[in-house]
């Protein structure tokens, strides 16, 4: 492959320089080559760049069009522009030291006038992506289909009241699965897009949920048919764009999958900002998924405490990330998943360099959280406290409760004849919060 022209000529490959570095274009905590437990940090963290934000985000908001203008967004036809943009993207992936990227079909190739034309565009750009992946070693963490931007999807895709739209969405996901497989994608994500509703005055909720489940079954069947081995992931979100999104949170997702017999085929892609929109912490959502062996991957970002929508900011809150990391590591990690920066630059952050500062901050925060979480788990102080708190279930009548040997009558007899009144024990929350702070701030 011929050497492409540099799109970020003034920016070097980002190096790890350690905590004392004052170089804004260096990592202070993330050393991709550092070996921890026989594996590099890069292999532990599996960072991924979200194509839609990093290379299709323009800073547009409801009050005005985009502010971010990239020099490579110029040329005659949309497919050629898409290829040059992709060259810039892969240069970025390499310079920021991200081993993975993620995309929606329509992020990487322009939609055509017909489905056949869209598929043709996609094939042309996927061939280019395949070459770039081979040349750089950057891999596809997951692919997905954009089933929410085009006006045909204004009332949903799989949950659209019009079966014609369901059929179109099915055709689009069929192709998205094929290209994800072609590019060696390790997962495939289903975020609900507009799968939800605005008002029950025009909506049959039960039928829409049945249709969503039918759609997911068709996807499972087709993946099997073509031999796609990637992990299927549901990405829950409670609201936005619709008022009531069907995949509200992880718990709702688990119930939905079990109701429709889909639970064997899916895990969860948990996004920090979606967790907070649902009124949960990031760690809560991780813990709920992990409790059922369904933790799949992370969309790494953050919301704003004062704003109630998906602001998709880069997360530099080491405390929040440390708590999340303890749950992820306790669950045995993310498997084929990774940490995908589903996060965008603020509207006034228009320099190409800002893309680097944003991701450096995110990667450093995660790497630091990873290290602190490992220390916390190795020390085992919280684990010992929790184990002791539940110790009454380890033997005697507590064990009988857990194993199903006790019943209401036997327990009543026990209380009346032997146990009497329980002695309350402190939960020691403030003490534990101080222990946590000592890990974070020394």
Residues designated catalytic: 104, 107
Joined tokens for residue 121: 């565009």
Contact 311, 274 (CB under 8 A): no
Q: Taking CB under 6 A as the criterion, which residues in 331-350 touch ligand XLS? A: 342
Q: 318: which 2 tokens?
A: 């080491």
Q: Quote the least distance from Cβ 104 to ligand XLS, whole Å.
A: 6
Q: Which residues, 262 to 281, sit near Ni ion by CB under 5 A?
A: 271
Under 8 Å between Cβ of 211 and 158 = yes
The residue from 271, 285, 287, 364 that contacts ligand XLS (CB under 6 A) is 271
- Least Å distance, CB 342 to ligand XLS, is 5
Among 105, 208, 310, 320, binds Ni ion (CB under 5 A): 310
Strand partners, 313: 302
User: Comparing C-alpha atoms, which of 171, 170, 156, 273 is closest to residue 217?
Assistant: 170
- What is the residue whose two structure tokens read 């990093």? 54
CB-CB contact of 256 with 283 (8 Å): no
| d(C-alpha 66, C-alpha 61), whole Å | 7
Residue 314 interacts with ligand XLS (CB under 6 A): yes or no? no
Cα distance between residue 327 and residue 369, in whole Å: 12
Q: Does 299 bind Ni ion (CB under 5 A)?
A: yes
Within residues 389-418, the interface with ligand XLS by CB under 6 A covers: none
Binding track over 328-367 against Ni ion, x by CB under 5 A: --------------x-------------------------
Member of 235, 249, 320, 364 binding ligand XLS (CB under 6 A): 235
Contact code string over 44-73 relative to ligand XLS, x by CB under 6 A: ------------------------------
| Residue placing its CB nearer to Ni ion in the complex, 287 or 312 | 312
In the numeric block, which tokens belong to residue 194? 């507009």
Task: Say whether residue 191 binds ligand XLS (CB under 6 A).
Answer: yes
- Tell me the site size for ligand XLS, rule CB under 6 A: 10
Task: Among 208, 310, 320, 364, indicate the residue that binds ligand XLS (CB under 6 A).
Answer: 310
Give the residue from 237, 311, 236, 304 showing the smallest Cα distance to 267. Answer: 236
Torsion 90-92-97-100 (CA) sign: negative
* 4-43 binders of ligand XLS (CB under 6 A): none
What are the CA-CA distances from residue 210 to residues 26, 200, 246 (Å)?
50, 16, 11
Number of residues lying near Ni ion (CB under 5 A): 4
Q: Which is closer to Ni ion, CB of 247 or CB of 299?
A: 299
Is 249 a binder of ligand XLS (CB under 6 A)?
no
Distance between CA atoms of residues 352 and 358, nearest Å: 10
Question: Residue 61's beta-bridge partner residues?
Answer: 64
Assess contact for 99 and 47: CB atoms under 8 A: yes
Please, what is the minimum distance in Å from the beta carbon of residue 342 to Ni ion? 4
Tell me which residues touch ligand XLS (CB under 6 A): 104, 144, 189, 191, 235, 237, 271, 299, 310, 342
Residues that bind Ni ion (CB under 5 A): 271, 299, 310, 342
């Amino acid at each position: 492959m011929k050497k492409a022209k540099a799109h970020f000529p003034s920016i070097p490959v980002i190096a790890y320089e350690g905590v004392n570095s004052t170089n804004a274009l260096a990592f202070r905590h993330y050393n991709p080559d550092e070996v921890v437990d026989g594996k590099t940090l890069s292999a532990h963290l599996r960072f991924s760049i979200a194509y839609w934000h990093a290379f299709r985000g323009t800073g547009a908001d409801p009050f005005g069009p985009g502010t971010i203008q990239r020099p490579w967004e110029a040329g005659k036809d949309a497919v050629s522009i898409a290829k040059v943009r992709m060259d810039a993207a892969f240069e970025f992936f390499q310079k920021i030291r991200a081993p993975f990227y993620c995309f929606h079909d329509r992020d990487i190739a322009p939609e055509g006038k017909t489905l056949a034309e869209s598929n043709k565009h996609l094939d042309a750009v996927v061939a280019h992506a395949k070459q770039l992946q081979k040349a750089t070693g950057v891999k596809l963490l997951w692919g997905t289909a954009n089933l929410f931007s085009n006006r045909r999807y204004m009332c949903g895709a799989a949950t659209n009241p019009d079966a014609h739209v369901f059929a179109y969405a099915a055709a689009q996901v069929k192709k998205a699965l094929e290209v994800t497989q072609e590019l060696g994608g390790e997962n495939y994500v289903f975020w609900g897009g507009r799968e939800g509703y605005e008002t029950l005055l025009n909506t049959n909720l039960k039928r829409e949920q049945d249709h969503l489940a039918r759609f997911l079954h068709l996807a499972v069947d087709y993946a099997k048919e073509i031999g796609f081995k990637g992990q299927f992931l549901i990405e829950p979100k409670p609201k936005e764009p619709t008022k009531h999104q069907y995949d509200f949170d992880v718990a709702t997702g688990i119930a939905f999958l079990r109701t429709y017999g889909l639970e064997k085929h899916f895990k969860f892609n948990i996004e920090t900002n979606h967790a907070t929109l649902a009124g949960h912490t990031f760690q809560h959502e991780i813990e709920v998924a992990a409790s059922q062996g369904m933790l799949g991957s992370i969309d790494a970002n953050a919301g704003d405490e004062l704003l109630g929508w998906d602001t998709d900011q880069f997360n530099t809150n080491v405390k929040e990330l440390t708590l999340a990391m303890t749950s992820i590591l306790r669950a045995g990690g993310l498997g084929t998943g990774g940490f995908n920066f589903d996060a965008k630059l603020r509207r006034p952050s228009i320099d190409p360099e800002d893309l680097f500062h944003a991701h450096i901050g995110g990667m450093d925060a995660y790497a630091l959280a990873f290290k602190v979480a490992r220390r916390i788990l190795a020390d085992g102080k919280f684990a010992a406290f929790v184990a002791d708190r539940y110790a009454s279930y380890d033997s005697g009548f507590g064990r009988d409760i857990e194993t199903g040997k006790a019943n209401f009558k036997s327990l009543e007899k026990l209380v009346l004849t032997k146990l009497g009144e329980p002695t309350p024990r402190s939960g020691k929350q403030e003490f534990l919060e101080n222990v946590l702070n000592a890990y974070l701030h020394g």
